[in-house]
Amino acid sequence: MLSLSDIFVAAFILICVVLFQWEVVQKTLNGSQFYAYSVCNVGEPEQDNWLRTTFIQRRPSASRIFVELQFIVRDCNSFDASVPCKETFNLFTSESDADVGTTFRKGQFKKVVTIAPDEITSKNGMRINTETKVVDNLSRKGFYLAFQDIGACVALLSVKVYYKACTATVESLARFPETVAGSENQALREVKGECVENAQSEEVPRIYCTADGEWVVQVGHCQCKPGYEKVGDTCQECQPGFFKAASSDGKCEPCPANTQGLEAGAAFCPCMDGFYQAPTDPITGPCSGLPTAPRDLVATTTQLSAGKLLLSWSPPDDTGGRSDITYSVECQSCEGGACRPCGEKIRYEPASAGLTLTRVTVSELDAHLNYTFIVEAHSGVSMFAGQASARAHKPPSTSALTTSLHYTDPPKITSMTVIEKSVTSLSLSWDVSPRPRLHAPPIRYELTYRKKDDNLDVTTYTVLILEKSSVQISELAPGTAYLFRVQALSSDGSPGGSSIEEQYETLHESTSASILAAAVGGAVIGILICSFVSLFRKRNSHSRQGAEDNYFSSPEQLKPLKTYVDPHTYEDPNVAVLKFATEIHPSHITKQKVIGAGEFGEVYRGILKVPGRKDVAVAIKTLKPGYTEKQRQDFLSEASIMGQFTHQNIIRLEGVVTKFKHAMIVTEYMENGALDRYLKDHDGEFSSFQLVGMLRGIAAGMKYLSDMSYVHRDLAARNILVNNNLECKVSDFGLSRVLEDDPEGTYTTSGGKIPIRWTAPEAIAYRKFTSASDVWSFGIVMWEVMAFGERPYWDMSNHEVMKAINEAFRLPAPMDCPSAVYQLMLQCWLQDRSKRPRFGDIVSLLDKLLRSPDSLKTIADFDPRVSIRLPSTSGSDGSPFRSVSEWLESIKMSQYSENFTCAGIINMDQVLQMKNEDIKNIGVRLPGHLKRIAYSILGLKDQTSTLSVFAV
């Protein structure tokens, strides 16, 4: 912002009026003529020739002026060398408060500087010099400049006198006036400004003007007021339909959904008729409508004797665009046509108002009374909708749905008949009383059948769960009598009401020639311990819900604080996922590296950056391209399930991406990945105390799940994730996972896939998946953990495993396993599931062990030849080990091959001579590895009796 326009003295010729020996001459330069003041008294001694300007008035603030001279000096060499000659002249100044006219007193002038040419003019041509000099610290009203010649040959062509100023400006919506630049000793001048119209600032805007006339370092920032936006250096009103809520640098934004912006300059847009905002909603946000009524309200009897009913319903069709939907329930008892409030006697679990789930248990009801339940949906705007306010209009009528219910006993099966029979099949049908009401939840039936003459000790029976009151059973043996029993199931899956048992016989083979093939098929069924054919073969109708069975039938156990909701109870799975999971914008997710492959696509490590929140490391599950809608829903079902859980030992869902093409599930990142792999990679590196600590975490997570009535069905170390703090978290919640994803899943004759070696016998046999079967799996996880990721039952086939379990064989204690921990495993593997400990018991016991670590010192009996499957004397083909490396490989200790070679141990005879000390000395340091090698040597020597001698 140098202000050359502020030159106020332009032409020297006009102002120099006092001349002593200087004269005005006319010169021609580059073809044009001009005047100059010239003096050339070379050769004459004692020269003192003066030229003075007229009085120059000074602007009061301009204490520093610049003098730009254009001049010519003749070369002294062009004169006779013996004559006096100078090539410089002097600049003087004199301050004065008044014009003194032509009076000139030399003594009043102060020398400013000697002026010397950069180039001198010789015979070869004229050289014009330009020099700028500064005259500082002027303080009087005006001044004179004077030029003293002391014997040179000089011509002054022009003199410009000026000061510098910062020009008036608008910076960041603050206006600053023109300001004269300061002098050397006041190089920065602070200047106060003011905000332009419709802008404001928290502090007075300031800026500095430099000595060079430049603006620098603005302090204080003006912003356009609410309702105005910055356009160039001004603040302009928001257009109608746009608003700006705060003083900011931002632009006006379009009015949000369900609001109106009729006027210009709006700071907010008022709600449209019938739409509201809650006080906690941001004023800049959309307005929402009231929710419509809840749908499909049904009541089911859970425990008749306790006067209990379960009311459940579906969320409103239209939530008014809000996610804070809650429900309240009101009860009226009706007798003889008159209804009145049920009063305080009635209990609601979890509560009668503020419900976030779409179900409530009502108890303390009297039998034989008619009750009317009114369920109302509320949202954050419901209670404000009715209040008169400038922004809210009258609400629509409240949403309510009424159903009346006279609860009755579960339906009874009244009769069973055979509709059709063949050599290998029977079609049955039965009646129920009372008949199911329209809109009542479907009744499910449990049909059990077996051959009549089976030895009862080894009965092969089949259980079918049916949704219709008829069935065709095929693949039966010809000419054989079967006993059929059918019973209605209550909504929680437990048998209710009375059952009916009948005997029917298939036709004899001789009656038809076409039955041979079917008979072969029928025979296959008998092979399994017990088989289960479910109408729920369709993957979609498979649900993990239903933890309740006899195992948890004590009244306290039936009152979970929060209950898991099967996402498939939602008609539209997309509604379920949005209910239980937060939608994340994909721009907040950065994928960094592929860390695994899931059933539906790759799993990435990445970063979640949500504005206003700390960045978090996350795992991102993706859905591979080309998916079907069904696959997308199955993929997202994991998020609908996971999103319902909040526990330290359950993998936390950060959110989902569903509204964009590439659906994603974002969870917390677990640095150490899957537990089985992690333990294998760190074999022998953790103490029993640390391992039990991990198990305690898993048990706590499982207790939480079972308290919510969620049955996992695929609990295994591969489905536990480990973070940096060695915290273990239960994962893998997809509904289809057990069936599709798990490589351990094995097809059963009923068509489902089951991870046999982790699954309780009753779940394999007739799909009785409960929290008690999860406890069995937990026992297997305990074994996997204590054995550092060893495969349960090693290389036994699934068939061998099932046979062994049926014959009461159980996994032996892993090496170095505390006795108390192994005892707990055995408890988890009790055949009678009602005798297995509950997860609450398991957590308490593990806590107790961790509180007194001495309790972990007693080690369970251990036989290395069984427990770590160490080959006793031979390699895999039965022949003795041919080399040290073959032996090390067989016990998975190949990493020490070089240690053995370097120590000169190159054949098995030498190995057999090794003592514990020798193993340590060759560099095997980890206690687990030391033991594995030592035990193997003992096994090779067949000296199991000395096992206890070895303790590290």
Residues that bind ligand AMP in the complex, under the rule CB under 6 A: 595-596, 598-599, 603, 619, 651, 667-670, 673-674, 721, 731-732
Residue 915 marked as a ligand binder: no
The half-sphere exposure of 153 on its side-chain side, counting CA atoms within 13 A, is 18
Cα 258 from Cα 447, distance rounded (Å):
55
> Cα Rg for the chain, rounded, in angstroms?
48
Whole-number minimum distance, CB 532 to ligand AMP, in Å? 26
SS3 594: strand
Nearer to ligand AMP, 732 or 774 (CB): 732
Q: Which residue lies nearest ligand AMP, judged by its C-beta? A: 596
Return the number of the residue (599 or 790) whose C-beta is nearest ligand AMP. 599
**Does residue 265 come out as left (phi exceeding 0), alpha (psi in the -120 to 50 range) or beta?**
left
CB of 399 to ligand AMP, least distance (A): 39
CB of 597 to ligand AMP, least distance (A): 6
- Residue nearer to ligand AMP on the CB measure, 471 or 603: 603
Per the annotation, the verdict on 714 as an active-site residue is yes
Of 834, 768, 102, 904, nearest in space to 493 by CA: 768
Given the complex with ligand AMP, which of 655 and 864 has the nearer CB atom? 655
Q: Are strands 461-466 and 531-534 parallel, antiparallel or unpaired?
A: parallel
Residue 674 marked as a ligand binder = no
- Rounded to a whole number of angstroms, the minimum distance from the CB of residue 663 to ligand AMP is 14
Q: Measured from the CB of residue 602, what is the shortest distance to ligand AMP in angstroms?
A: 9
Q: What are the residues whose beta carbons fall under 8 Å from the beta carbon of 634, sequence distance 6 or more?
A: 539, 600, 734, 735, 736
**Structural contact between residues 413 and 432, judged by C-beta atoms closer than 8 angstroms:** yes
| Residue 60 backbone dihedrals phi, psi, to 5 degrees | -50, -40
Q: Which of 579, 647, 139 is nearest to 319 (CA)?
A: 579
Residue 599 labeled ligand binder: yes
- The CA distance from 672 to 678, in Å, is 7
The one-character DSSP state at 952 is -
Closest to 298 (Cα-Cα) out of 164, 402, 377, 383: 402
Which candidate, 950, 943, 936, places its Cα nearest to that of 871?
936
Instruction: For the CB of residue 745, give the shortest distance to ligand AMP in the complex, in Å.
Output: 12
- In order of 173, 269, 685, 814, 882, the CA distances from 948 in angstroms are 86, 81, 21, 15, 29
Dist CA 671 CA 678 (whole Å): 10
Q: Which two tokens stand for residue 413?
A: 């099966």
Rounded Cα gap, residues 30 and 6, in angstroms: 29
Residue type, 166: C
Hey, which residues does 154 pair with through a beta bridge?
39, 73
Nearer to ligand AMP, 237 or 732 (CB): 732
E-only strand ranges, 117-225: 129-135, 142-149, 153-162, 165-166, 169-171, 174-176, 179-180, 188-192, 194-195, 199-200, 206-210, 215-219, 223-224
Q: Is residue 595 annotated as involved in ligand binding?
A: yes
Question: How many Å apart are CA 634 and CA 628, to the nearest integer?
Answer: 10
By C-beta, is 603 or 934 nearer to ligand AMP?
A: 603
Edge-to-edge strand list for the sheet holding 169-171: 169-171, 174-176, 194-195
> How far apart, in Å, are the Cα atoms of 493 and each of 380, 549, 748, 934?
36, 8, 22, 52
Q: Give the residue among 936, 842, 844 at the shortest CA–CA distance from 887.
A: 936
CA dist 114 and 91 (Å) reads 6
596 is known to lie in a ligand binding site? yes
Minimum CB–partner distance for residue 737 and ligand AMP (Å): 8
881 known ligand binder: no
Return d(Cα 727, Cα 740) in angstroms, integer.
Answer: 28
- For the chain, what is the largest distance between any 2 Cα atoms, rounded to a whole number of angstroms? 157
- Confirm or deny that 790 is annotated as ligand binding: no
- Residue 92 annotated as part of some ligand binding site: no
Beta carbon nearer to ligand AMP, 518 or 650: 650
**Residues facing residue 372 across a β-bridge:** 332, 404
Q: How remote is the C-alpha of 846 from its chain's centroid?
A: 32
Backbone angles phi, psi at 393, to 5 degrees: -105, 175
Q: Which residue lies nearer to ligand AMP by CB, 599 or 816?
A: 599
And the tokens for 258?
Answer: 């369900």
Per DSSP, helices labelled H in 489-572 are 516-525
Q: Quick one: 395 or 745, whose CB is closer to ligand AMP?
A: 745
Quote the DSSP letter at residue 710: B
Nearer to ligand AMP, 486 or 623 (CB): 623
Q: Which of 85/716 has CB closer to ligand AMP?
A: 716
73 among the known binding-site residues?
Answer: no
740: annotated binding-site residue? Answer: no
Name 298's bridge partners.
Answer: 312
Q: How many CB atoms lie within 10 A of CB 917?
A: 7
Question: 238 is written with which tokens?
Answer: 């928001």
DSSP code for 21: S
Q: Which is nearer to ligand AMP, 161 or 620 (CB)?
A: 620
In the complex, the smallest distance separating the C-beta of residue 596 from ligand AMP, rounded to whole angstroms, is 2
Catalytic residue among 566, 714, 741, 774: 714
Q: How far is CA 616 from CA 578, 584, 592, 611, 670, in A?
A: 22, 13, 13, 12, 12
Query: If you count DSSP H runs as helices and E runs as strands, how many of each does the chain have, helices first?
Result: 18, 51
Binding residues: 595-603, 621
Binding residues for ATP: 595-603, 621
Which positions are catalytic? 714
